[in-house]
Chains A and B, each alone.
Chain A
Amino acid sequence: MGNWLILGATSGIAIPLNRELAKRGNRLLLAARDQERLDIVKNDLHARFNVEVQTELFDALDHINHPAFIDRVEQEFGHLDGVVWAIGILGKQKQAEEDYKKAYAIIDANYLSAVSILEPIAEKFQKRKTGQIIAISSVAGDRGRATNYIYGSAKAGLSAYMQGLRQRLAKSGVHVMTVKPGVVDTKMIEGEETMPFIAKPDKVALEIMNGIQKRREVIYTPGLWRFIMISLRHIPEFLFKRLSF
């Protein structure tokens, strides 16, 4: 049991994850950019699990104010025991190729913003020698592909960042977990054409919760994706180049 900050608390994956955390008696601080949605999610958690839930508006792109955000949150809510990063945008690869501003927006929401907020949190956890940092990256970061390499490279950046952070914080006993979901049925993939092995967010959330409890380091969810990505990563570049997916 502890105090958890959920960044992107209204995202499709965070919503069932909030429930898993609340069910286990954690206090939640939900951060997202839409107050109306935040209130809906907060009331739901409070009604279902009779736990304390607070909300805070949070804009991932507002880097300058991130350190102050964390200070304020800890003052009002108390020391954090865990944080989940569940923010991201998929964007449109084609548009990102043509328009650097679009590419930048994808890299910003998926990578730069994560670094900007997780760094001051890591600092605090390191000093206190406790805490859990969970970030939702993606299998898309495991190998760049023609159809979504802007998003994929930002996620690759996030995964590498988490890897480094894990090593840095290992001595302080801080748990750092990278979550690599496959395709999950949330609004992120709405309107996208054919997607293989679509997973339900409830299942993904439960697997993340298990990872949190068992203090796992990198999880693929659903687990099948670990094997898909192992095979994908091992296709030699000269062959991979010719594939079209």
Chain B
Amino acid sequence: MNHLEEISAIKVSGNGNHRSVMKPLYAENKELEGWGRSNRANSDVAHPTDQHQLQGSIHHTYDRTILARGEGRSYGDASLNGGNITLQMEKFDYVIEFDRERGIFTCEGGMTLKAILETVVPAGWFLPVTPGTQYPTIGGCFACDVHGKNHHVAGSLVKHTHWIELVVANGEIIHCSHDEFSDLFYATAGGMGLTGVINKICFELQPIESAYIAAEYFLCKNLSVVMRLLEAYDHKYPYSVAWMDCVASGDNLGRGQVIFGEHAKKEQLPENLQENPLHLNQQRTIAVPFVPPISFVNPFTTMIFNQTKIFMDRMNPRKRIESHINYFYPLDSVRRWNRLYGPPGFIQYQFVVPNEGGGNAITEILQTALNHGHPSSLAVLKRFGEGQPLLSFPRPGWILAMDIPVRAGLFRMTAEFEKILLEYDGRVYLAKDSCLSPEGFRQMYPEFEGWLNIKEKYDPEWRFNSDQANRLKLREGI
């Protein structure tokens, strides 16, 4: 442990009791990284345990900026606050209320999706929206306004959220929702932690009959087939996504596998599962125990992996019943898989382009990646539905998310991506971003000005800040 510093001390009276107890909050200076491991920063990291400590940490640190951090599953620099204070939220993991009849869940901002699922699935409920991993916190998910494979029908997280409680820059706690302090509510969804700390959140769940997904898999020989299949059928399924092989080129450019799915009804399950349809055995996981000295991920290993995957999939039936964990969170079966990319790490480049012209934009980007010799090792494509205001990422169109190992010349390529996206009216997802330019950001997010007004109304001194905000020069205005 390095330098320990007491950053605040709050007197809390044990109520109903004569004694009062001092609750000091300590910070430890250490390095944190984004999930892609290519962004790192040193900051004073504290682990507050209750709202008094949260408020205290804001009051007592007026000369430095603060950023809340969940489980660090955003890829770039969104969860980093170099040289300043990071509030790690993992101790805010209490359920406040679970209405089992109506499916309404209220918990603290640091609770992980995994812990939420373990509570709600046995009672016949599921998250309204889920990202492709169950390790993030619900607060981090709201701050990014996450989307899932059901975005085309369900929208993003904010749509299903009844209210949040936010600790803002003056230390006050504000209860905000679609109709109370709604400016702050929407500015926080997708606001990347810059409006305050999400202390509590209340959202609605969707009912399920089983813990399984009825999935259908289709192999498609190139991008246009993938896109046509999604266009023709995705409205028929709550979940849809395509996995793409970005190493394939020429006629096979954009070859992929379209995966549709829905929560399986009890009677769709094989007999042995029907007795206890909401029960799942624990997922078995393995971990990457350390960062290997070199990356295991390069165009060659990616090609082998993709070929094997396609080969194996040919042998599996097109229709499958699989556990929701296998369906939604396949990557979670290898803990810390991000280490496989070796010391330099990787980035994820995720963007949305409008339906109109989207196919061309995607073709150009895939081709640019191949030309640069930087094909994506893992990519997914899907269609979005209606979006939300301010900085929330999704809007109608096609999204592509590509994992790309960091190697020399990468940022020249992403600069080219940015140019293509601006031409096609596309935008980049801030939860994944590590290389967008300040100008690019302003063109992609025309509602930035509206967001900034709200941010500065509640946080005129920019007490909440991040490395990402610095890189995008958010404080300098429009």
Task: Enumerate chain A interface residues (CB-CB to B < 8 A).
Answer: 33-37, 40-41, 43-44, 47-48, 50, 57, 59, 187, 190-191, 193-195
Contacts and interface: CB of A to CB of B under 8 A. Distances in A.
Contacts of B98: 47-48
Contact of B1 (A34, A59, A194): A194
A47 B1 contact: no
A40 B14 contact: no
Given A50-B100, A187-B49, A191-B6, A44 B94 contact: yes
A47 B26 CA distance: 30
How large, as a class, is the contact surface on chain B?
Answer: 20 to 34
B16 A191 contact: no
A50 B26 CA distance: 35
B24 interface: yes
A33 B17 contact: yes
B19 interface: yes
A34 B96 contact: no
A48 B1 contact: no
A48 B125 CA distance: 13
A126 B477 CA distance: 73
B473 to A, nearest CB: 36
Contact of A33 (B14, B49, B95): B14
A193 B16 CA distance: 34
Given A43-B97, A47-B98, A50-B123, 14 more contacts: A33-B14, A34-B12, A34-B14, A35-B15, A40-B50, A43-B95, A44-B94, A44-B95, A47-B119, A48-B95, A57-B16, A190-B24, A190-B26, A191-B6
Contacts of A187: 49
Contacts of B16: 35, 57
Contacts of A48: 95, 98, 119
Please provide the 8 A-B residue pairs with the shortest distance between their CB atoms, ordered closest to farther: A47-B95, A47-B98, A44-B94, A34-B14, A33-B14, A191-B26, A44-B95, A48-B119
Contacts of A50: 100, 123
B4 interface: yes
Nearest to B25: A190
8 contacts: A35-B14, A43-B95, A43-B96, A47-B95, A47-B96, A47-B98, A57-B17, A59-B19
Contacts of A44: 94-96
B27 to A, nearest CB: 10
A59 B97 contact: no
Interface string B186-206: 000000000000000000000
A37 B15 CA distance: 10
A190 B412 CA distance: 45
Interface of B: 1, 4, 6, 12, 14-17, 19, 21, 24, 26, 49-50, 94-98, 100, 119, 123
Nearest to A41: B94
B4 A193 contact: yes
B26 A34 contact: no
A44 B21 CA distance: 23
Contacts of B15: 34-36
A86 B145 CA distance: 40
B436 to A, nearest CB: 36
B82 to A, nearest CB: 23
A187 to B, nearest CB: 7
A191 B24 contact: yes
B203 to A, nearest CB: 14
B21 A34 contact: yes
A57 B17 CA distance: 8
Contact of B17 (A47, A59, A193): A59
A36 B13 CA distance: 10
Contacts of B21: 34
Given A37-B50, A57-B17, A59-B17, A191 B4 contact: yes
A191 B4 CA distance: 6
Contacts of A37: 50
A206 to B, nearest CB: 13
A155 B21 CA distance: 22
Contacts of A193: 1, 4
Q: Pick from A34, A35, A40, A41 the residue with the most CB of B within 10 Å.
A: A34
A46 B17 CA distance: 25
Contacts of A47: 95-98, 119
A57 to B, nearest CB: 5
A46 B4 CA distance: 36
Nearest to A36: B15
A181 to B, nearest CB: 19
Contacts of B95: 43-44, 47-48
A3 B398 CA distance: 56
Contacts of A59: 17, 19
B137 to A, nearest CB: 15
Nearest to A193: B1
A126 B16 CA distance: 33
Contacts of B14: 33-35
A195 B1 contact: yes
Contacts of A194: 1
Contacts of A33: 14, 17, 19
Contacts of B94: 40-41, 43-44
Contacts of B1: 193-195
B8 to A, nearest CB: 12
Contacts of A36: 15
B85 to A, nearest CB: 16
A90 to B, nearest CB: 13
Nearest to B4: A191
Nearest to A62: B17
A33 B96 CA distance: 20
A40 B1 CA distance: 30
